[in-house]
Structure 1
Amino acid sequence: MPSLWKPENWSERLAELEARVGDLKEVPLRRDVRSLGMLLGEVLREQAGDELFEKVEALRLSAIRRREAQADGSLVEADKLLQLAVLDANAMPVDTAYYLSRAFAFYFELINLAETNHRKRRRLSLQLSGDKAAQRGSLRGTLRAMRQVGISADEAIEWLRKIFIVPVFTAHPTEIARRSVLTKRRRIGDFLEQLDRIPVPDEELVALEAALTAEITALWQTDEVRSSRPKVADEIKMGLDYYEVSIFETLPSLYREIAAALKSEYEFDIDLSELPLMLGFGSWIGGDRDGNPFVTPDVTREAIADARKRLLSYYDGRIQLIIDLLTTSAQQLPISAEMQAKLDSYLSQLHTGSTPIFGHHFQFELYRRYMVCVHARLLATAGKPAPDQDSLEAVLSALPAYCSAFEFQTDLEILRRSLAENNGLRLAQTLIDPLILLVRTFGLHLHTLDVRQHARVHKKTLEEASAWCAGNAATVAGELSAESRDVIETMRTIAEVKASCSPETIRQYVISGAASVDDVLAVTWLARLGGVEVAGKENECGGDPGLMPVPLFESIEDLRNAPAVCRELWNMPEYRKLLASWNNTQEVMLGYSDSNKDGGMLTSTWEIFRAHRALHEVARECGVRLRLFHGRGGTVGRGGGPTHRSIYSQPVGAFEGQIRITEQGEVLNWKYSDVVLAERNLELMIAASLDALARPNARDPHGHQSGVLLPEWEAAFDQMSASAFDFYRANIIDDPEVLHYFEAGTPVSELEHAKIGSRPARRGGRMSFESLRAIPWVFGWTQSRQLIPAWFGVGYAIEEYAKQPGGMELLCAMMDEFPLFIDLIRNVEMALAKADLGIAALYASLVQDEGLRERVFTKVKTEFERTLKAVLAVTRQKELLEQNRVLAHSIRLRNPYVDPMSLIQVDLLRRKRAGEDTPEVNRAISGTINGISAGLRNTG
């Protein structure tokens, strides 16, 4: 039987890859989806039997018929089909429900992998065609736009020198995938990529298809739901995996692409070694203790040690490769005097008397001898055990460990200069430059680890330790509570890290719930109590950057007060001394998730924008260089959305090129599971930052979306934000019935049973808006297909504003030209497209108080319909996603598979609440959570 991927002829396959527009370019995706679906069907029949497969097909076809009836406007027929499906779902045994959910979830896993592979395929297509500038967010496209409006090559380089972007990985409390499952996903993705090669022999096609089937079988036989809650150590390992999977390999190719783009657009030649460093990496995993009692000082030490171990292991492999390949002989070419002196200095440190150190090893290959010495120092840095006493490695182990990344980088640069001076430039560019780039990026620590704790915990610790002076800091006062002792021990751990060879490992301390100057000063006082030097002592060779307190402004009120708080802080004489030690730089974090939960989507978006702009104004007034840290989530309701659009929509004149952005655990796999995907994601960040700095659109007389905010647009946003805020607060936060509806009518309480994150879902005590975290808030609304945080209040605000003369015309103009408004409306549109109030009504039926249920759901439905109408009016569309057919097709493809899992989940929740609270039911519910998350491409 021929492979499902075998073409009629290979020229057709090439034509698909080269297709620029039209259906032909989507043919490979449809083939992958269809073929993977057939393989899954084969596995289901084999592993679970024909009866389950037929049940899957029946539910799928029923869901498709309902969706088709909806699309045709036959709402009565659609409702009838939904009720029939509900009856079918309610009659299922628990084990059948579980396996059905697994089957649908597996289909989504495969669709997601097919769509990911198609993203890689289209990127390759653009590279082959030389038309990469056509892709939104490409660096080449941004540089071309800059050149066309008269921005010179020197100006472009200067803009690039300003850019420094730090993605900060976090452990998402609703990250659903197990590490073993992620590994299997990557293997399936690799097989799909191999099937894209042109041509592939028939035998290999058959073998690849067999390997795919085997991997799908292995995935089916693997528990997708954890049997126990993951430990923080598991989350640390998952976060570190992405460096080995993609990031180490991605960075050199990304910087080469930047150099190639400069060459292509400006005819500007620049080596990899000459490019400015534009990327760094950070992490919260193992340092974020806000509400997570499992992040202890020992866990923080473990996170740092594991990161360092992964990095040094990678360096070890790269250096061994250089030793193997750099075989240049001194009989052919000399080495530089600088390098000879460094090599002689190493040999003189070994004190072997008259005994030759290398003997016959690398007799004339001085580069290899030099790199063997460098390797020995790196092994000492990693703390590798000494080898056998009489070996060359044992002799070299006497060389000292590197005390800083600067020392390591200096040794590599000496080697590079020698090669460049002696006809070895190509060797330097190929072998040495990529490693130097990685050392510049990762140092000896891999990424910075932020420590985070809540301001109220600091306040409590200070109150308890008010009588504690520096003289008895060697012991922890016995009267301190466990939480306060943890704060002091955490500071001592930071001091311990800063006494090591990589004091830059911890340089930021994030303060959740910051609301005042005292919240920032508390961290400096506690740090000193714990023995931490807060002021920085950096120089050109490295050094300790100190510990910068980073206030995180989260609520709407705190965002509004942030500029005044920072003005007061930055004008304090003692704090100005600290600022001077940090190169007059201050980082401030803006919270998207909690501000959304506190004030709704529209107000959160606008208040973050206003705080962003005002903070930069205050920073300029105070002579401070401001770096903003954007705490964006993976979902729209938590600040998620397309990366390029969000960076570009920053206020004009309020961005200086440096930015840190959280990368939530649930999107890490989507962005960093592959070299090509990681390169695309990081390029988007750099291109968007360059676009936001240079603003070529503003220089083009015919340009659009320059980012300039007209006074009438600002007034409109102010008015809509006030309307949306009052409406949201009155109808969501201040209505006590909503929280009861949320708890009873969504699966939010199932987070405790799903075992999908180390952090508790709330900060303790009974559920309240104050104790409930923003992440489970979004999770519950997302799983129940309501997605309220992503749209509620937007329709009301638009409708109210449109009542004034010319109101809708002005909003349409904003939709054409103002990036922030475009980003807001497109994100709301996507959320509306993913929501389904027919399914949501089934979740609402779980609320036993009929009056309360009707009141809240009617309110939700009314505002949904109003928002839908408003979005269509502002975007001038007849249906959602009319201008994004790719996303519209993806959602249509997924809905018939998500719907059955929602029906099953509702039934299982009903059973559990009726007393059927068994391990089997909880496992089945967790399976539906997994499947719905995969189908909607986010959990919360």
Structure 2
Amino acid sequence: MREPTPTEAVDLVGRFEAGQEIPENMRGDVRLLGSLLGRVLRESGSPGLYEDVERLRIATIQAYTDETPEAFERATAVADSFSVARADEVARAFTVYFHLVNLAEEHQRVRILRDRDGQPERGDATDSVAGAFTNLTAEIGGEKALERLQALRFHPVFTAHPTEARRRAVSTGIRRLSVLLDEQDAATHGGDRRRRQRQMLEEIDTLWRTAPLRPEKPSPTDEVRAVMSVFDDTLFTSMPQVYRRIDDTLQPGLSGRAAPVVRPFVRVGSWVAGDRDGNPFVTASITRKAAGIASEHVLLGLERATNRIGRGLTLDGTSTPPTDELMSLWRRLRAADEEAAADIAKRSPDEPHRRIVLLVARKIAATRTRNADLAYSDPEELLADLRVVQDSLVAAGAARQAYGNLQELIWQVETYGFHLAELEVRQHSAVHKKVLEELEAGGERSEQTDEVLEVFRSIAFIQERFGPRAAGRYIVSFTQSAEDLENVHKLARFAMGAESATPVLDVVPLFETFADLQAAPGILAEIVDHPTFAARLEATDRRLEVMLGYSDSSKDVGPVAATLALYEAQAKIAAWAKNERIELTLFHGRGGALGRGGGPANSAILAQPPHSVDGRFKLTEQGEVIFARYGDATIAKRHIDQVAAAILQASSPSNEQRNSSAAETYADIAATMDTASRERFFSLVKAPGFAPWFATVTPMEEVGLLALGSRPARRGLSVESLEDLRAIPWVFAWTQARINLAGWFGLGTALETVGDEERLRQAYAEWPLFRTMIDNVGMSLAKADDRIARRYLELGDRQDLADLVMDEMTLTQSWVIRIAGGTGLLENKPVLQRAVKLRSPYVDALSLLQLRALRALRDAPTDQPAPDPDLQRLLLLSVSGVAAGLQNTG
């Protein structure tokens, strides 16, 4: 196939873009950013780079649109024609392009959300908390609905595995570009727009010149600071705005001048620098440091907010007289901080509320700097002072000042305390057993034993310094018996000794494998009779948290059987907890990728078994998902509102009845799918030689070289078995190979075994769990590419395994389209379909460059002492670029 002429190339690109039905504003952003990148490549790239990038771009678009073997071969030939140095530059150019397209898409989402905010009728949409509350009121009455709203809890837990594939320097540059796009939208004349575009050009040039790969893995402390940037940039100010928006809708005309209806329902958790399961770099010292960093950030935020509010409270004592309680508080604060009080009183001669709030800001600063004479002992003491001010304002008739900015500060304190995020510790049950055996045997202690014991002392230290909410949850990975949970309490007693009180611990079992999920109800029934565990249960009014792992169960039995096993485990645990009068919170260990339980959170919540949510939902937010969901304030507010709405709706009688009835109606289909999918999955992963074949046909080994996060990619060094391979590289490697096997393998065979197409379509309409499964697989397959997948599979010498994979992909795709309707994937999700199609040819370009590097590395002589560093760098660049294009690491 000949290369298209320049005119034909322009026409080809135009037809491709027109076919994606991109909104005009977004089309303009993509074209602008793309043209600016083109200019940068001409100015800053080596001679001919722009032309080579265009050659590959045109070739992959042509291959994507006409799908002929000749077109695909031509695109492959273009990628293979570059020198390694040129391929390196081309890969970097496409990666920067993806960052810019992702930015344009995010900017379009923000535009849409801002437009919705301007439409009052959107405030009670069904996928908002206010809308869910309205629906719930219609079902159970206003009083009960209000009780559920005020007991609502959403608990995202940020984790560092994996960190984003892109560097923080890149993320920061993209955020600056986002601000410039906002400013360009607001620009009213050409001069302003030209200035913005010049600044964008500078930022894109900086992106191009910034090394795309981290020179070394981030430390746990680096990961802590990365998460802190999300808190500083969006979460601290966004959270009270979420509550305010709900209150605005529920109390139209009253919000801001009456006590709020909504109570703060978000609690943020963190595993960053607390999760030591398989991560030797997370030490007790690092955990203590992480707690200190988090506290510093939140106290600084509270101090600034309080100062700002205090400066604005210029209410005269005559128009707004203080209560006796306020004057008593003033005397107490003045006695503790006389010099500052005198200065503030001089500057605020008859402004009693302003005086006190400014002194409160000083006490927050003293808390941050550890000035014991002035510091608050805990957040409750601060809240008590703020409420005295609020009550005084209300009594004086200044309700707007009481329930305006001051209320938002109170919400921030209630949400974040002095610790910001509830730091959670995680460790493997096998480590606990080994350490206990050593302690009980006596003799010299190993370094590992000393470190494990020091963790408990660190938890005690954090609780004493930052409050009991700052730390206290201890997750036990691979919980397989009640003894695994009791061991944590034993270790705490060893660590603290007889003379010191053990820290307050909520020990959380984590059930991960298929067998562990099935054993979970029995283990829980046994552990609640253990004295230490039972005592803690009673102390918390019979509250219990149980964590479910999505990643390892999926790698264990395949995505279909894992999904069904997780549902069954939740249903049984929830029924047991209800019978035992236990207030259960299920903690969902979801990843960003579909093979690890990812996908839209709200639809997943609505598909949970009856009584498994009950107004409480906790999940892990990982890697690139943190920045995608919480990196932009507008998107973060929408995400929180949408998830909270689903939590509220999930426990409605109608939703619970729908899930319960569907699970019963389609139990036979679930059983058939479970058996058939597991057998199909095992036929692949248990085939002799599968593990080394997998390492050959995907960049699994190379993924471990990419400096994604501080945690090692696998538990051991061998690729002879998948047992020691972590779920993240398992998913990531299949994603990079454009196969996405971890998200769908076995579903096609499961559906084929059921065979009844009409009944499966009916299940899709009536059974939320099944619908979510089909839709998620549709997303996973849409990001796959069978032509590129075949090229990866050809790297191995096992045609039988390659055929097994491709046959299942074809079968699964056929069934998903037939069940969901239409002629192609994602036809019922046009926005997502557009996003995938817009990216696909550009991802193809990077995949072809990756294949070229991977093939050369695999074909290298076996006696070669080390891989070619230039080829290895090209491979890693392409891995980073494909992750940006698909918006997934693992």
Q: TM-score range by the shorter chain?
A: over 0.9
**Residue 40 (structure 1) aligns with:** 37
How far is 1:349 from its partner?
3.9
| Conserved 8 A contact 1:586-1:627 | yes
How far is 1:156 from its partner?
2.3
Determine which of 253, 274, 279 is the counterpart of 1:292. 279
**Residue 451 (structure 1) aligns with:** 425
Report the residue type matching 2:248 in the other structure: A
Report the residue type matching 2:31 in the other structure: R
**Residue 908 (structure 1) aligns with:** 853
**Residue 3 (structure 2) aligns with:** none
> Kindly tell me: are residues 573 and 451 of structure 1, through their superposed partners in 2, closer, same or farther at Cα, counting changes over 3 Å?
closer
> Kindly tell me: are residues 695 and 930 of structure 1, through their superposed partners in 2, closer, same or farther at Cα, counting changes over 3 Å?
farther
**Residue 541 (structure 1) aligns with:** none
2:713 and 2:599 map into 1 onto residues whose CA distance is 23
| Conserved 8 A contact 1:536-1:547 | no
Q: Does 1:405 align with 2:395?
A: no
| Conserved 8 A contact 1:553-1:562 | yes
> Kindly tell me: are residues 150 and 910 of structure 1, through their superposed partners in 2, closer, same or farther at Cα, counting changes over 3 Å?
closer
Determine which of 908, 922, 927 is the counterpart of 2:872. 922
> Kindly tell me: are residues 151 and 271 of structure 1, through their superposed partners in 2, closer, same or farther at Cα, counting changes over 3 Å?
farther
The equivalences for 1:355-370 within 5 A come to 360-370=346-356
| Conserved 8 A contact 1:263-1:269 | no
> Kindly tell me: are residues 904 and 795 of structure 1, through their superposed partners in 2, closer, same or farther at Cα, counting changes over 3 Å?
same
Determine which of 300, 308, 311 is the counterpart of 1:313. 300
| Conserved 8 A contact 1:571-1:622 | no
1:466 and 1:399 map into 2 onto residues whose CA distance is 44
Report the residue type matching 1:109 in the other structure: H
How far is 1:260 from its partner?
2.1
2:665 and 2:372 map into 1 onto residues whose CA distance is 71
**Residue 681 (structure 2) aligns with:** 728
> Kindly tell me: are residues 268 and 377 of structure 1, through their superposed partners in 2, closer, same or farther at Cα, counting changes over 3 Å?
closer
Determine which of 580, 586, 589 is the counterpart of 1:631. 589
Q: Does 1:421 align with 2:366?
A: no
How far is 1:273 from its partner?
4.5
The equivalences for 1:161-560 within 5 A come to 161-173=150-162, 175-197=164-186, 200-263=188-251, 271=258, 273-349=260-336, 360-383=346-369, 399-468=373-442, 479-531=444-496, 546-560=504-518
Show CA shifts across 1:123-164 (max 9, x none). Answer: 1222223342686622343234345x4543323211212311
How far is 1:429 from its partner?
2.2
Q: Does 1:715 align with 2:668?
A: yes
| Conserved 8 A contact 2:575-2:611 | no
**Residue 69 (structure 2) aligns with:** 79
Q: Which structure 2 residue ranges, 5 or more long, are not aligned?
A: 1-18
The equivalences for 1:95-106 within 5 A come to 95-106=85-96
Q: Which structure 1 residue ranges, 5 or more long, are not aligned?
A: 1-21, 71-77, 385-396, 469-476, 538-543, 700-704
Q: Does 1:895 align with 2:840?
A: yes
TM-score by length of 2: 0.93
| Conserved 8 A contact 1:162-1:656 | no
Q: Does 1:568 align with 2:526?
A: yes
1:23 and 1:636 map into 2 onto residues whose CA distance is 24
Q: Does 1:750 align with 2:715?
A: no
How far is 1:410 from its partner?
0.6
1:534 and 1:84 map into 2 onto residues whose CA distance is 75
2:191 and 2:644 map into 1 onto residues whose CA distance is 43
How far is 1:261 from its partner?
2.5
1:712 and 1:33 map into 2 onto residues whose CA distance is 47
The equivalences for 1:528-927 within 5 A come to 528-531=493-496, 546-696=504-654, 708-732=661-685, 734-767=686-719, 768-802=721-755, 807-847=756-796, 850=797, 852=798, 854-913=799-858, 914=860, 915=864, 917-927=867-877
How far is 1:606 from its partner?
0.7
Report the residue type matching 1:785 in the other structure: R
| Conserved 8 A contact 2:586-2:612 | no
How far is 1:622 from its partner?
2.2
1:218 and 1:653 map into 2 onto residues whose CA distance is 52
SS in 2 for 1:292: coil
> Kindly tell me: are residues 930 and 574 of structure 1, through their superposed partners in 2, closer, same or farther at Cα, counting changes over 3 Å?
closer
| Conserved 8 A contact 1:495-1:532 | no
2:613 and 2:816 map into 1 onto residues whose CA distance is 29
Count of residues paired in the alignment: 866
| Conserved 8 A contact 1:170-1:664 | yes
1:588 and 1:143 map into 2 onto residues whose CA distance is 27
Show CA shifts across 1:732-752 (max 9, x none). Answer: 2x1133212210111111123
Show CA shifts across 1:319-377 (max 9, x none). Answer: 22123211222244321100101111222345789x96757332222223212321222
Show CA shifts across 1:426-453 (max 9, x none). Answer: 1122221111000001111001000001
2:261 and 2:409 map into 1 onto residues whose CA distance is 14
Report the residue type matching 2:403 in the other structure: Q
Show CA shifts across 1:718-776 (max 9, x none). Answer: 221121112212322x1133212210111111123221211110112312211000000
Determine which of 51, 56, 59 is the counterpart of 2:53. 56
SS in 1 for 2:585: strand
SS in 2 for 1:588: strand
Percent identity for Structure 1 against Structure 2:
34
> Kindly tell me: are residues 79 and 352 of structure 1, through their superposed partners in 2, closer, same or farther at Cα, counting changes over 3 Å?
closer
Report the residue type matching 1:743 in the other structure: A
Report the residue type matching 1:558 in the other structure: D
| Conserved 8 A contact 1:494-1:532 | no
> Kindly tell me: are residues 285 and 496 of structure 1, through their superposed partners in 2, closer, same or farther at Cα, counting changes over 3 Å?
same
| Conserved 8 A contact 1:174-1:775 | no
1:23 and 1:534 map into 2 onto residues whose CA distance is 69
Q: Does 1:934 align with 2:880?
A: no
2:35 and 2:343 map into 1 onto residues whose CA distance is 63
| Conserved 8 A contact 1:603-1:721 | yes
1:821 and 1:153 map into 2 onto residues whose CA distance is 32
1:276 and 1:786 map into 2 onto residues whose CA distance is 45
TM-score by length of 1: 0.88
> Kindly tell me: are residues 873 and 433 of structure 1, through their superposed partners in 2, closer, same or farther at Cα, counting changes over 3 Å?
same
Report the residue type matching 1:765 in the other structure: L
Q: Does 1:89 align with 2:79?
A: yes
2:54 and 2:209 map into 1 onto residues whose CA distance is 21
| Conserved 8 A contact 1:524-1:534 | no
2:498 and 2:235 map into 1 onto residues whose CA distance is 32
> Kindly tell me: are residues 533 and 601 of structure 1, through their superposed partners in 2, closer, same or farther at Cα, counting changes over 3 Å?
farther
> Kindly tell me: are residues 85 and 170 of structure 1, through their superposed partners in 2, closer, same or farther at Cα, counting changes over 3 Å?
same
**Which is worse superposed, 242-251 or 316-325?**
316-325
> Kindly tell me: are residues 797 and 834 of structure 1, through their superposed partners in 2, closer, same or farther at Cα, counting changes over 3 Å?
same
Give RMSD over aligned pairs: 2.5
How far is 1:533 from its partner?
11
1:194 and 1:670 map into 2 onto residues whose CA distance is 21
Report the residue type matching 2:178 in the other structure: G
1:24 and 1:415 map into 2 onto residues whose CA distance is 54
Show CA shifts across 1:536-577 (max 9, x none). Answer: 99xxxxxx8x21111100000100110111011123444322
> Kindly tell me: are residues 534 and 902 of structure 1, through their superposed partners in 2, closer, same or farther at Cα, counting changes over 3 Å?
farther
1:287 and 1:658 map into 2 onto residues whose CA distance is 23
SS in 1 for 2:704: helix
Report the residue type matching 1:363 in the other structure: P
